[in-house]
Amino acid sequence: MGRLRRLFDRKTVGDDAMAGLVLGIESVPDGLASGLLAGLNPVAGLYAYLYGAVSAAFFTSTAFMAVQGTGAMAIIVADIEAVHSSDDPVRTLVTLSLLTGIAMILAGLLKFGAMLRFVSNSVMTGFISAVGINIVLGQVGDFTGYASDGASRVTRALDTVFRFWRIDFWTLAVGVVTIVLIIMLRETKLGALGLVVAIGAGSAFAGFLSLFDIEVQLVGNIAEVPGALPFITMPSFSDIPVLVVPAISLAFVGLVQGAGVTASFPNVDGSPSDVSQDFIGQGAGNVASGLFQGMPVGGSMSASSLVVSAGAKTRAALVFTGVVMALVILLFAGVVEYIAMPSLAGLLIVVGIETVKPANIVSVWKTGSVQASAMTVTLVLTLLIPLQFAVLVGMGVSMILYIVRQSNQIVARRMELDDEGRIREVAPPKTVPPEEVLVIQPYGSLFFAAAPLFEEELPTVTDESVHSVVIIRLRGKSDIGSTLIDVLGRYAQALSEVESKLMIVTDSDRIRTQLDVTGATEFIGKDNIYASTEWLTATVRRAADDAEDWIAAQRSDGNSEEDA
């Protein structure tokens, strides 16, 4: 009760109720459209918007994160064959939403928020752009009244273009009218509510046409909207094995989009947002949505933006959103059934077009060939293969892109130390000169893929490179791996063959342990591996002094042999 009192503050409850009214009314056609986009009974979108928003509001760290259906998640659901071919599609959908919620909660508990930095912007731009295209292509049938039997959205859209004479003119007219009104009314004082008015007007136009025996498909023609809220529904445990991968894909997409909401809507009270805690909140929204027959949900940028612009002061606005939606379902279910399907399709086409951001595509394209290739591959694959697998491919592409970037960023610099304590960095020489100390500082990641590039950066050992010492300073490196240790071993061997040697300076106990267990310490020499202190360059200066003494000793021994 105390938490509820804090949630509904007398000073802010009026503003929160109004913001909840705006988002709640707008969410009714939006929820229906989301269910339609997913290929489900449209009421599954309504239930998801209602229960997802209310349940998540109690757990997210970001006060204004509206957890509802998203276009990307709906498209993934549309591609999950197990949901649409099930003997009990409602329980299968419940299972999918619950698994998605569990995956999100686990990601939050394991603090996987930091992992999202490995998802490259180029991959996400390609994925989101393809999702926008898929949204538009997926509505061609409801928008035109011609149900093509093509194998994919692309082929169905092309079939519609090549058989344009099968398009139903009046269905298309209702959709076009709705799109025009959405675009016009959003620029008026109605704002987001203009969307609701546009769909209402488009549906009224469809109703007018019915007076002349011109039939345009309505929500009520494909689904019954019950005038009651659903009871808790148990999952289908037998469907779990085939739904695990799609659920992970849905969780990944939802969490990435939710992280964008976390970054875009800081809390007005100054309290910090936690991406991992928001994962848990989105997971709770999915669990509630699933138990009450809703589709998977995630953090919605558009809904979060709407509730903020409508004047929300606290997260209570999201609870009011759910209350408004519940009242619409309980009191106006019959009215909802009269919403025209081409009007909902028109809404989704607008959403899909606005999802594709040409400026972002151009920006990635200009960044470089690697980024442009990653974006293009992700976009094409997302259009051609089911999205739950395209998401996993996109994750893989992100990881590969990260490895490529890191492995290409390695560079070696020579540190020159003077007697006054100053240091300057210069390019290392091409070859190791005789009787000289070289201090080499690598910059960049030294994991296995970068090791060959680092080896190329090192000065080449020649027959002239006698009585020299190369000191490799690994300060700030915590792990070098066996591939780089092999590189160090080969370099030490090459130096040894011309009577020179390698020294290592490192502040990492782990690296020293790695050198020990691989036998590199024995080969390089225990006395040639120096442990850094907290004083910068102190150890490398000591190693350089020892190297100078060693070179002087070699020179002295050589002179003694010549005198003899």
SS (H, E, C) 32-94: HHHHHHCCCCCHHHHHHHHHHHHHHHCCCCCCCCCEECCHHHHHHHHCCHHHHCCCCHHHHHH
CATH assignment, 411-556: 3.30.750.24
Whole-angstrom CA distances from 417 to 191, 438, 541, 563 are 66, 10, 8, 34
Q: Give the tens place of pLDDT for each residue, 79-108.
A: 898 998 888 999 999 999 999 999 999 999
Q: What are phi and psi of 509, to 5 degrees?
A: -65, -35
> How far apart are alpha carbons 279 and 114 in whole angstroms?
12
Token pair, residue 511, equals: 């690296």
Q: Considering only CA atoms, give the Rg of the chain.
A: 32
Listed residue (223, 209, 95, 79) closest to 151, CA to CA = 79
Listed residue (530, 150, 121) closest to 361, CA to CA = 121
Burial of 234 (0-12, 13-18, 19+ CB in 10 A): exposed
Token pair, residue 391, equals: 């998401």
pLDDT at res. 495: 93
Q: Give the strand pairing for 423-426 and 469-473.
A: unpaired
Burial of 284 (0-12, 13-18, 19+ CB in 10 A): buried
Q: Give the strand pairing for 501-506 and 298-299.
A: unpaired
For the chain, the distance separating the N- and C-terminal CA atoms, rounded to the nearest angstrom, is: 98
pLDDT at res. 55: 93
Yes or no: say if 345 and 175 are a contact pair by the CB < 8 Å rule.
yes
Domain locations in the chain?
Answer: 13-146+233-331+358-403, 411-556
Q: Give the strand pairing for 501-506 and 469-473.
A: parallel
Listed residue (516, 520, 540, 517) closest to 530, CA to CA = 540
Yes or no: say if 171 and 210 are a contact pair by the CB < 8 Å rule.
no
Dihedral angle, C-alpha 379, 381, 384, 389, nearest 10 °? -120
The 3 state secondary structure assigned to 322-362 is HHHHHHHHHHHHHHHCCCEHHHHHHHHHHHHHHHCCHHHHH
pLDDT at res. 118: 64
CA 303 to the chain's CA centroid: 19
Whole-angstrom CA distances from 223 to 116, 210, 236, 512 are 38, 19, 22, 67
Yes or no: say if 61 and 54 are a contact pair by the CB < 8 Å rule.
no
Q: Positive or negative CA dihedral for 308, 310, 312, 316?
A: negative
Helix (H, G, I), strand (E, B) or coil at 233: coil
Exposure on the CB side of residue 121, measured as CA atoms within 13 A? 10
The DSSP 8-state label assigned to residue 218 in this structure reads: B
Q: Which regions in the chain score pLDDT beneath 50?
A: 1-4
> How far apart are alpha carbons 205 and 277 in whole angstroms?
46
Yes or no: say if 449 and 403 are a contact pair by the CB < 8 Å rule.
yes
Give the contacts of 268 (CB within 8 A, at least 6 positions apart): 63, 313
